[in-house]
A and B are shown apart, each in its own frame.
Chain A
């Protein structure tokens, strides 16, 4: 990326302001502020229970915030502003927003009753973006890009974990979102399958989309991330370029965490 692109903030990226979220008495996000530049890859790391998955889910309104807001490309997610206050959007409006954000979960969550191709075609059909034939054609293209076109008539259960995750990524790409969210995409995979998924994500990283990835693959983070965020106890402890956060962490907690994970 050229420096002019980075300093020109004509298109905003992901912005999180004062994010607070509690589940009952248990506070999970205790005031998070983030500015993630568009077209960059951000990897979020942190111990379990730190709130990173919850934070990720607030970016496409799968979780709602008690306080604070999230905006993507300048648009508030899940809420709108009126007279200085935030009001919830209608479910239909939220769904439309979610169509522009891709989400890949740890457990793939492919629809087992649909074939691989049908899974990828589903968002296109559901949002009436394409007719039956066009949707499937697009699905085959996407599957080809993740290298699984030859399995298109199989059912998810017949695929290995790595293959399923790649299909999940293809499905998340179907509506051509500008923002992609990954929640621990390789944590449920056998070690030898991790590589194929990371390869696909790496390729996406180079495509100019904004990626936010929650992961504990530190090596991957170093390879791919433009920005690393370390979250612990519901707050951002440290963030910055990977070279800094991962190799020369400033904060003691970061150091402690990295020491355990290496």
Chain B
């Protein structure tokens, strides 16, 4: 077993390699919310098959890996109110901002994009504040 920070670093490097390959080969930015969002709101019709192929790979990659590393569950809450409000915020927020952790975070920061830097600062601060309020103060998380 690697220490957790080592797993994080190795996993992060793999994520960076995937994003690099997608850019160098397909000429596209690896942004999860953009790839899915363009498919479901039909704005990305022209390359729908490419988007769908990516998403199928994204679902299947971890299935292969769980055979070797064992299954680590997500630990996701079972509270439907938290699930639904959180998912709506993530869905609408990432589309309004035009990116999420992968698009703005990984691809944006690495290209020194001002929009990526601003987005990352604001979603990190907002996430930290949410944990302070709902976990540490209210205690529902």
Chains A and B belong together in one complex? no
Residues of B within 8 A of A (CB): none
Residues of A within 8 A of B (CB): none
